[in-house]
Amino acid sequence: MSFKFFDKLSQDFSELLNDKKESNVVIEVDKEKNKKSFALHSVVLRCRSTYFTKEFENTATNENHVKTIFKPNISTQIFEIILKYIYCGVVNIENIENEIIYELMIIANELEFEELSEKLENYLVESKAPWLRTHFSRIYHSIFDSIKCNEFKGLKQFYNDIIIKHPNVIFESEDFTSLQEAALISILEKDNLQLEEIKIWDYIIKWGIAQNPTFPRNLKEWSKENFKTLKTTLQNCLPLIRYFHISEKDIWEKLKPYRKILGMQLWDDLNQRLIFPNQPIQSLALPARIISNPELPQRVNELTSTIINDENMAEISSWIDRKSTIYSLENVPYKLQLILRGSKDGFQPKTFWDMCNGHVGTVVIVKVAGTDEILGGYNPLAWDNTKTSYTHMETNDSFIFSLKNGNIQNSILSRVENKSCALIYRNLDSQKTYGPEFGDCEFLLQSNVSDFTKDKLCWCVYGPEYSYYYEKSIRTTNEKFSILDYENDEKNTFSSLNASELETEELSDKFSSCLIEFIEFQSFLVKNSYYSFFDR
């Protein structure tokens, strides 16, 4: 039988933290006025982490036999928490900001306290998911900056699950081209990435070129060395493309200009597959990606919006999916999950940014005061209230609209035409005045009195004197307006009760598209002779 006295041992051990008599190490942390030094014990630090064993081996002692280590990247606040973990085995994160908890996890990982790092990582994923989504871009980039590829597996999986369902979050972000190669590869490896293969190809080429800023802008001016460099840059990405699931038209238009980076055998096999689809090929043909919707919410019959009806929702859903015809009410693939309603949560611009921050794939819907107008906009990107300056957001998939309602006889759809200013995100101070803003005031909610219902500053510009980033104006007047109510709803996908009908419709669309592409391709061969297609 043995008696264990861990509590007393831990208490006595913790007293060493304040005992400077036997200290033989000084660790200096933070910068400038926040700089602080801690007198510590090498034997304790070495027992707790192999990091310090390596540091001590590379650090000389002074005349007093004391080693000094400088860690300016660690704040005093975080290091004090780390010391309590080292000496006391206790970390209290109550009332600590999420930002500090995240930084603590990073530092714990750097100092090789795996137990602490993993504990904090699990806490963030399980308890702070909304905060992680809000700070998606910065955190996603930082966790892939690590040298060790097996670090932060939980966070990487958390973010990759988001990217699989909402690829535009990363591919359409303004800092996509600064993404670490390891992060990009982890995305490309996913069999269920919800994105067309040709779009993936486009993004990969964009990323590769961005890593080589000295390349000529005009592809026709590229040298053999340029193509060779691009091939080297993308050597770990190119094998992950599902080439044999790209249409004939896209192979000709998108891949052929870059055929020199594909290799002779792959290019030959692509051409052979087009002309002789049943003949075996030598290149590895990866399976098609699985386009599906895992963990979908169940369909409910009640629409959550108090502004639009089922017919409006069917129309908006069709626009999101770029359908040429409007979904039937039975086959609408989306439901709206309410994030904010003005009449419930208030009409302050700052409320919009606070409540919608981090939400992806949302529809803003507005009821205009004094008219029958229902206006809105679809944003496929994540709303972000952390911008430090006036920021143009780029996407090819946003649109603004006016819905048929009352005296309004026809709906108006206006897709983004110039993606360089699809949306505008404001800094913290401007968020007190500006709400959602599509294009250059082409759909804008604004108030100088912090209430969209009061001062008639909301605007959808109209007239030839204005520059447009969207196809057309969604109003026929340039007058500014106030609103009666508004919503921002997140788009969720149904687990359809009529899956077979939807699948049949999708298959029909795909077949029609493939047939058209095949006819165009055959026409091309007739006009040009298919031998030119093999030209390298």
- Residues in a beta bridge with 402: 375, 412
Of 291, 320, 346, which residue constitutes the final position of a domain? 291
Residues 359, 269 share a domain? no
CB 491 within 8 A of CB 336: yes
324 and 460 co-located in one domain: yes
Whether 511 is in a domain gets the answer no
Q: Answer yes or no: do 269 and 322 share one domain.
A: no
- Flag whether 433 is in a domain: yes
β-pairing verdict for 67-71 and 25-29: parallel
Strand partners, 415: 399
pTM: 0.52
Residue with tokens 């999986």: 157
Is residue 259 located within the same domain as residue 400?
no
Q: What's residue 497's pLDDT?
A: 30
Strands 67-71, 443-446: parallel, antiparallel or unpaired by DSSP? Answer: unpaired
- Is 477 within a domain? yes
Q: Domain check: are 247 and 336 in the same one?
A: no
Contact 334, 362 (CB under 8 A): no
In a domain, 434, yes or no: yes
Query: How many structural domains is the chain composed of?
Result: 2
Residue 378 bridge partners (DSSP): 363, 399
Say if residue 266 is in the same domain as residue 330.
Answer: no
Check whether residue 365 and residue 410 sit in a common domain. yes
Q: Is 489 helix (H, G, I), strand (E, B) or coil?
A: strand
- CA dist., res. 514 & res. 534, Å (int): 21
Q: How, if at all, do strands 443-446 and 434-438 pair?
A: antiparallel
> Are 135 and 357 spatial neighbours (Cβ–Cβ below 8 Å)?
no
With respect to residue 522, please indicate whether it lies within any of the assigned structural domains. Answer: no
Collapsed DSSP state (helix, strand, coil) of residue 79: helix
Co-location of 252 and 369 in the same domain: no
Phi/psi for 146 (5° steps) reads: -65, 145
Domain boundary residue among 291, 318, 353? Answer: 291
pLDDT (tens place) for every residue of the chain, 536 residues total: 888 887 877 777 788 888 888 899 999 999 989 999 999 999 999 999 999 999 999 999 999 899 999 999 999 999 999 999 999 999 998 888 888 999 999 999 999 999 999 999 999 998 888 778 767 777 888 887 655 556 898 998 888 888 888 887 788 777 789 888 988 999 999 999 989 999 999 999 999 999 999 999 999 999 999 999 999 999 999 999 999 999 999 999 999 999 999 999 999 999 998 889 888 999 999 999 987 654 433 433 345 788 998 899 999 999 998 988 898 887 788 888 899 999 888 899 999 999 999 899 999 999 999 988 999 999 999 999 999 899 999 999 999 999 988 788 899 999 999 999 999 999 999 999 999 999 999 999 999 999 999 999 999 999 888 878 999 999 999 999 999 999 998 887 643 233 333 343 444 444 444 444 544 544 544 444 443 333 43
Both 274 and 321 in one domain: the answer is: no
Q: Say yes or no: 330 and 449 in one domain.
A: yes
Q: Is 141 exposed, middle or buried (0-12, 13-18, 19+ CB in 10 A)?
A: middle
Among candidates 415, 312, 416, which has minimal Cα distance to 367? 312
Domain membership of residue 377 (yes or no) is: yes
What DSSP letter does each residue of 225-284 carry, written as one string? HHHHHHHHHTTTTGGGS-GGGS-HHHIIIIIGGGGGGT-HHHHHHHHHHHH-TTS--SS-
CA distances from 509 to 127, 323, 376 (A): 42, 10, 28
Q: Is 351 helix (H, G, I), strand (E, B) or coil?
A: helix
Which pLDDT value is given to residue 481?
96
- How many angstroms separate the CA atoms of 20 and 22, rounded? 6
SS3 content of the chain, % helix, strand, coil (to 5): 45, 15, 40
Same domain, 268 and 314: no
Residue 80 falls within a domain, yes or no?
no
Q: In what order do the strands lie in the sheet with 483-493?
A: 334-341, 483-493, 360-368, 374-382, 399-403, 412-415
Q: Would you call 368 helix, strand, or coil by DSSP?
A: strand
Residues written for the chain: 536
Domain limits for position 235: 196-291
- Distance, in Å, from the CA atom of 529 to the CA atom of 527, rounded to the nearest integer, reads 6
Reference 385, options 363, 360, 361, 358; nearest CA is 358
Instruction: Please classify residue 59 by burial: count the beta carbons closer than 10 Å to its beta carbon, then call 0-12 exposed, 13-18 middle and 19+ buried.
Output: middle
Domain match, 345 and 480 both: yes
In this prediction, residue 462 carries a pLDDT of 93
User: At residue 379, what is the residue type?
Assistant: N
What Cα–Cα distance (Å) separates residue 119 from each residue in 64, 106, 173, 342, 465?
Answer: 38, 12, 30, 39, 58
Domain membership flag for residue 183? no
Distance CA 327, CA 469 (A): 27
Q: Which has the closest alpha carbon to 111: 154, 81, 142? A: 81
- CA dist 320 → 315, 327, 493 (Å): 9, 11, 12
